[in-house]
Structure 1
Amino acid sequence: MMFSDSSRLPGFFGRLWLRLGRGLFKLALWLLVLGALGIAIGYGYYAWKFSGPVPAEEQVPPGEAAMTQDIIQTAIRIVDQHREPTRYLRDAHAKAHGCVTAEVSVPQNLPADLRQGVFAQPGKVWQAWMRLSNGNAYPQFDQLQDARGMAIKLLDVPGQQLMADQAGKHEQDFVMFNHANFFVSDVAEYRQNIGAQADGKQVLAFFPSWDPRSWQLRHLLIAKATLADAPASPTLATYYSVSPYKFGSANAKFRVVPDPGSCPPYTVAKQNQDLPNFLRTALHQQLTTDQQPACFMLQIQRQDARKYMPIEDTSVQWKESDAPFQTVAMIRVPPQDFDTPAQNLMCDNLSFNPWHGIEAHRPIGGINRLRKAVYEAVSDYRHARNAALNPTP
């Protein structure tokens, strides 16, 4: 009898495990179905939310000025946190791969409706500075995931400058980074996000409370996509303005895309990505050692207010199916020796600001209104502190 009872145990446990396995399979299947349903509902919700016509003019929310002052104090705190013994760094894009000279040429055959502002004269060639950088507020190894930035400053631009303290400089700046949309929508979100990061509480940047309604999962995914692996060279990335600008009487976003077909054939040499500054090395290899130029196209995407292309929400990418990009200028970075102590110092002191420019390209939207105040305050603070640390003899 004992032998008979024990012989049944394997069969009992086998049936138990089989039932347990079936239960777990059904549970996993239900979780997959619920997950797929949740994703479908999410896509449907955002398809509904991000649809329909939008205002073609700026909409300034109440309380934005007070929030901007809070952000300025936070940005200055970040500058203080990341200062080095001999200099104060930018609050973002602190590490430059180099500042290089460039030529920005307006095509001879540019259509009449695209001849706006600095692109008004076909055949015009602007001399410019271009700064290529990492996005982090503290210089870090290039191999680490980060945003990558490009800023362009056109020189000797006629016309009245947007900022009174720029009256004698005659510049037009374009400030971009390598993702099409931003990980915050507006000034209120930016204040909450940057405040959490400055306090070292990164989780609170996208999950500010226990209330799931306050969670910003979509923006977290945008931030993760923005912090990408480094390109083989800064000359191989595409850079976006993210926020909109005036383009004559229209509203538009800018981007810069590589244009290898306009330059002699060239393959960027493989770099040792374990080195902390391999992106600068790649740039130096191309422009200085190999004496090869880099070519880009400067393009615009004009707003169609009948489509969901909002001005005030920088987390929304304007669809190319709604409005394609159009080329308004060609950019050529000639061979040059840019990596010198004098030029690197000049690069560190050079200020790029989307508000350095003329009315035809005036920045619009909440994030750009914020930039005007923050860039100016942080730049003044940083330059004043650097002047005190390194007084001119």
Structure 2
Amino acid sequence: MFTKIWMGFGVLLLRLLIGGLIIGLVVWILSSTWFAWHDRGPVSAAEQIPPGESAMSQEIIQTAIRIVDQHRESTRYLRDAHAKAHGCVNAEVQVLSDLAPALRQGVFTEAGKTWQATMRLSNGNPFPQFDAVTDARGMAIKLLDVPGAQLLEDKPERKEQDFVMFSHPNFFVSDVAEYQQNIAAQATGQTWQAFFPTWWNPRSWQLRHLLIAHATLAPAPSSPTEATYYSVSPYKFGSANAKFRVKPDPQSCPEYTLAPQNEKLPNFLRNALNQRLSADRIPACFVLQIQRQDPSKYMPIEDTSIEWKESDAPFETVAKVRVPAQDFDTPALNLACDNQSFNPWFGVAAHRPIGGINRLRKAVYEAVSDYRHSRNAGQ
């Protein structure tokens, strides 16, 4: 009797499992079909600003400042994102000498030109944590002594061009409205609300964005120099629109194998960077690439959750990036790194940031940077 009941229970569980797999397969097929139908071109090559975006940006600024207050270290105020740096290093960005005429735009106009630059490598989280924790990784590059009028007219003395990137090709929010929802959930510690704002209404669930966030929070690379970084949001590239990517270019540097790192240490990524550049005195090499928008394909400007497919528009190399051997990990240099500001709006009109997330950055980056620097003044 007992055996018969137990076998019947097993058969029921097997049927439930098979039924669940069938339902999951059907849902996957239907959702894939729907996205294939919905996410297709053509798209606009011009920005489209929704109503209420400015008001939402002001609310986001207040929330971001609240996060800065929550995550300060003792009396020192940190960034609202990418708070933990692995280091700021000197770099050289050399425009290709044989660059095609159509790609000679902005800071890439002069073929063979070498720009001196600063590069910041970081974790993405707004709170410093062990490097082994899954996270996005960031790279920001600042070209120095860039001639021409700056986009921010109140800061004409900067003479810079910044490229701000992180280690995933698309973002887990589409626009400013979703970013407002996401950052509000972060500030209250109820992160599930970022993707399930109303749990009783499945139509409000953002499962695709949850999957993007899960993919973004990846295990740490063996070194910050061995990851690929993406602009995620688009920029002007002369008269075209484009996204940027920086990826390792090991064949342009001496052959190097990083010694195994103790990944249980809280700052093993900084240690790996220090091992290569300072101890072993081996430079790191990258290529800087652009991906130009083809408006006949589904490559939208206003939705940063959509990855621009390489099959629709390949990346094209416009410059080589070289990080020479150097000593960067000193108290003075680390403090200077912490005080350094990177902003996609630090730059020239030929590379003007476009799209809702970039418009938001213009307001938020400057407000949070000013707040953080005013609190840290004199420290």
Q: CA distance change for structure 1 residues 208 and 335 in 2, over 3 Å: closer, same or farther?
A: same
- Tell me if 1:282 matches 2:250: no
Offset from partner CA, 1:298-326 (integer Å, 9 cap, x none): 00000000000000000000000000000
2:55 matched to 1:57? no
One of 231, 253, 271 as aligned partner of 1:263: 253
Cα distance in 2 between the residues matched to 1:22 and 1:363: 58
Select the residue among 64, 69, 78 that pairs with 1:75: 64
1:322-345 alpha-carbon deviations (Å, 9 max, x no partner): 000000000000000011111111
Aligned match for 2:182, one of 193, 206, 230: 193
Once residues 25 and 141 of structure 1 are traced to their aligned partners in structure 2, the CA distance between those partners, rounded to angstroms, is 42
Secondary structure of residue in 2 paired with 1:253: strand
Q: Partner residue of 2:208?
A: 218
Deviates more, 1:205-214 or 1:82-91: 82-91
Post-superposition offset of 1:28: 2.5
Spell out the pairing of 1:13-162 with structure 2 (5 A cutoff).
Answer: 14-162=3-151
Instruction: State yes or no: 1:307 paired with 2:261.
Output: no
Q: Which amino acid aligns with 2:141?
A: I
User: How many angstroms apart in 2 are the aligned matches of 1:192 and 1:255?
Assistant: 27
Structure 2 gap ranges (5+)? none
- Number of the residue aligned with 2:238: 248
TM-score, structure 1 normalization: 0.94
Match of 1:382 among 363, 372, 378: 372
Cα distance in structure 2, aligned partners of 1:18 and 1:288: 65
How many angstroms does 1:26 deviate by? Answer: 3.0
How far the C-alpha of 1:244 sits from its partner, in A, is: 0.2
State the Cα distance separating 1:19 from its structure 2 match. Answer: 4.5
Question: Secondary structure of the equivalent of 2:314?
Answer: coil
Cα-to-partner distance string for 1:328-363 (whole Å, 9 max, x where unaligned): 000000000011111111111110000000000000
Aligned partners of 1:27 and 1:140: how far apart in 2?
A: 41
Paired letter, 1:167: P
Which residue number in structure 2 is paired with residue 325 of structure 1? Answer: 315
* Per-residue CA distance 1:113-159 (angstroms, 9 max, x = gap): 11000001101000000000011111111111111000000001111
Distance in 2 (alpha carbons) for counterparts of 1:295 and 1:350: 23
In the TM superposition, what is the alpha-carbon distance from 1:59 to its structure 2 partner? 0.4
CA distance in 2, matches of 1:17, 1:146: 45
Question: What's the counterpart of residue 228 of structure 2?
Answer: 238
Query: Closer, same or farther in 2 for the Cα pair 1:287/1:211, shift >3 Å?
Result: same
One-letter amino acid matched to 2:235 = Y
SS at match of 1:166: coil
**In 1, distance between residues paired with 2:344 and 2:175?**
17
Distance (Å, rounded) in 2 between the aligned partners of 1:42 and 1:82:
38
- CA shift, 1:25, in A, is 2.9
Q: TM-score, normalised by structure 2?
A: 0.98
Question: 1:169 Cα shift?
Answer: 1.4
> Once superposed, which parts of structure 1, at least 4 consecutive aligned residues long, lie more than 4 Å away?
12-20
For 2:154, what is the secondary structure of its paired residue? Answer: helix
Alignment: residue pair count: 378
Structure 1 distance, partners of 2:103, 2:129, is 40
Counterpart residue identity of residue 150, structure 2: Q
Task: State how far apart, in whole Å, the 2-side matches of 1:152 and 1:21 are.
Answer: 59
- Structure exhibiting the larger radius of gyration computed from Cα positions: 1
Aligned-pair identity (%): 71
SS in 2 for 1:126: strand
**Greater mean alpha carbon deviation, residues 182-191 or residues 266-275:** 266-275
Task: Give the RMSD, CA atoms, in angstroms.
Answer: 1.1
Separation in 2 of the partners of 1:60 and 1:366?
Answer: 7
Task: Verify: 1:176 aligned to 2:140, yes or no.
Answer: no
- Counterpart CA distance in 2 for 1:324 and 1:363 is 20
C-alpha displacement at 1:165, in angstroms? 2.5
- The alpha-carbon distance between structure 1 residues 16 and 343, as it changes in their structure 2 partners (threshold 3 A), is closer
TM-aligned CA distance change 1:383 to 1:47, over 3 Å: same
Inter-partner Cα distance in structure 2 for 1:165 and 1:314: 28
1:4 aligns with none
After superposition, the C-alpha distances for 1:90-125 in whole angstroms (9 at most, x for unaligned) are 111011100000000001111111100000110100
Counterpart residue type for residue 168 of structure 1? E
User: C-alpha distance in 2, partners of 1:361/1:208?
Assistant: 35
